[in-house]
Amino acid sequence: MNNNDGNISQCPFMGGTQKQTAGGGTSVRDFWPNELKLNILRQNGEASNPMAKDFDYATAFNSIDYAELKKDVNHFMTDSQDWWPADYGSYGPFMVRMAWHSAGTYRVGDGRGGARSGSQRFAPINSWPDNGNLDKARLLLWPIKKKYGNKLSWADLMILAGNSAMESMGFETFGFAGGREDVWEPEQDIYWGSETVMGENEERYKEGELEDPLGAVMMGWIYVNPEGPNGNPDPMGSAKDVRETFGRMAMNDEETVALVAGGHTFGKAHGAANPDTYVGPSPHGAPIEEMSTGWKNTYKSGVLDDTITSGIEGAWTPNPITWDHDYFDVLLNYDWELTKSPAGAHQWKPTAASNAKKAPKAGDANKTQDLMMTTADIALKVDPKYLEISKRFHTDHKAFEDAFARAWYKLTHRDMGPISRYLGPEVPKEELLWQDPIPQGTTLSDSEIETLKEAISNTNLSISQLATTAWASASTYRGSDMRGGANGGRIRLEPQKSWAVNNPYELNKVLTILEAIQKEFNGIVSMADLIVLGGNVAVEKGVKNAGYEYCCSFYLWKRRCFSRTNRCCFFWLFRTESRRI
């Protein structure tokens, strides 16, 4: 029975009488829109956890024969399957796109999105138009996921596949780290925008500025519309969008150019025909018989040269499955003119006078097709800053390769937290600035802790001052990308020390006294530890004043200046041992 047309009268269970479904109609939140949302507390809760209670992903991942895993992934790249054959005989570009789009949802505003949780498997992300046909990429990887089971998360596998794909095509990556634990249900608390229609963006621009914390220019896209702003093929307008969206993903201009050029060295875009005519609904809206796949394409064979994804058609370079430096040759040395793909999308082609090289057809290397650029690619040629970087990379191949390797590593690992969380033999030894490196911490003995607590207690600092400072220091932590928190003692640095919410005048009093204690202490203690220890002293004093005896044990996790450790504390940690006095 086909009930996709929405005619409920065809359904024998509904009898054609039900007008509203359970959960529909006016909600409590419609009446009280400011009601506190508590659903995040039960999201991915223990009761629905498919893993055993004592399951530890880090231990499981480290038990993998990593050399065998890499061999399996590398073999997969050229093991083309009949149901979804590989363009040019290699799944490499497809896996690069899957990994890129898994990581590319990350945004610095709230640390949400990114590759760390494997959310690309779930709605809405699995059904965004920009992720068209990536359901097939994940399905192709299923035999590998099945072989390694819970030892290998989908989140890690998707990024590893992207890394291995580049290596299989001749690129030397900067490294890879495992350690991403899968969620097992959609992360419904992430705000992706207010639009109810994919591809719209009117709700996210207020007075011309992209709404915080959103990182994409429209609903259902990772970054920008490749055709140009709102489908308008305006390269300078596209450059503005590219700079804004990549900046919100923590990328500067050089990293942006490197990522666009490096990523588009591989593969092609697919726009064989009009998607409105031939492409079915996305996975989340597809009929049950398609079972986690979507975008069914009825145009001819539906695969290879007949594939429809973005609507843009063609490859960026003459060798789409080989790492080379042709992208900048093609972009800078050819003149480009506006055209449309067979699907009707705006794109650019080399002028006849450019006498441009061609790319092979995806399904038949003996046939060729014109190269293409998107409006977002042309932006790298018309924006003065992007053009300057592009010219430098064009002449300095080693600089380009290094910049792309580092930018790709940052893209795919930025949301994982400190390097102490990284797993596997391919973790680079070099610690990068965006990983918030800090010096090795020191361990305090019990007697040293008691000495410091006594010194803090003997100051004129109030319970409120100590507790407020410790709380403010810890409360910047966010679990979305493991950033902030008490470790690092950043509250004594800009911008935190000048935040109005931290009451800078009072904060400076506390920090000045704690710095004096640090200087006089016959040993080594970080300000990060002193601030948290001060909070413990405040808690103990406050409880004692209320008539209880209370021991607030100080769990030293080597809080160091300028960063955080494996799992940074949101609250100072303590163990309760209390009794009525």
The pLDDT, as a whole number, for residue 439 is 78
| Averaged pLDDT of the chain | 90
**Nearest Cα residue to 414 out of 171, 571, 180, 182:** 180
Fold of 446-580: Peroxidase; domain 1 (1.10.520)
Do residues 430 and 405 lie in contact, with contact meaning Cβ atoms separated by under 8 Å?
no
φ/ψ region of 23 (left if φ > 0, alpha if ψ in -120 to 50, else beta) reads: left
Provide the pLDDT for residue 1: 38
The torsion of the CA quartet 119, 122, 127, 132, rounded to 10 degrees, works out to 60
**Any idea which fold 219-284+293-395 has?**
Peroxidase; domain 2 (1.10.420)
Q: Which residues are annotated as catalytic?
A: 101
> Predicted confidence band at 551 (pLDDT cuts at 50, 70, 90)?
low
Cα maximum dimension of the chain: 92
Lowest mean pLDDT among 130-139, 271-280, 439-448: 439-448
Residue pair 344/311 in contact by the 8 Å Cβ criterion: yes
Per the CB < 8 A criterion, the answer to whether 312 and 374 are in contact is: yes
Averaged pLDDT, 121-126: 96
pLDDT at 97: 98
The reported pTM is 0.89
Structural contact between residues 474 and 571, judged by C-beta atoms closer than 8 angstroms: yes
Report the chain's terminal Cα–Cα distance, integer Å: 73
Enumerate helices (H) and strands (E) in the chain, giving the number of each.
Answer: 18, 10
- Tell me the average pLDDT across 548-554: 67
Q: Looking at residue 412, what is its pLDDT?
A: 98
- What average pLDDT does range 284-312 have in this prediction? 94
Higher pLDDT, 438 or 398: 398
* Domain ranges (residues) in the chain: 219-284+293-395, 446-580
259 C-beta neighbours (distance < 10 Å), count: 22
Least confident of 38-47, 82-91, 125-134: 38-47
Q: In this structure, what token pair is assigned to residue 523? A: 């040993």
Q: What is the pLDDT of residue 292?
A: 81
**For 25-43, what is the mean pLDDT?**
78
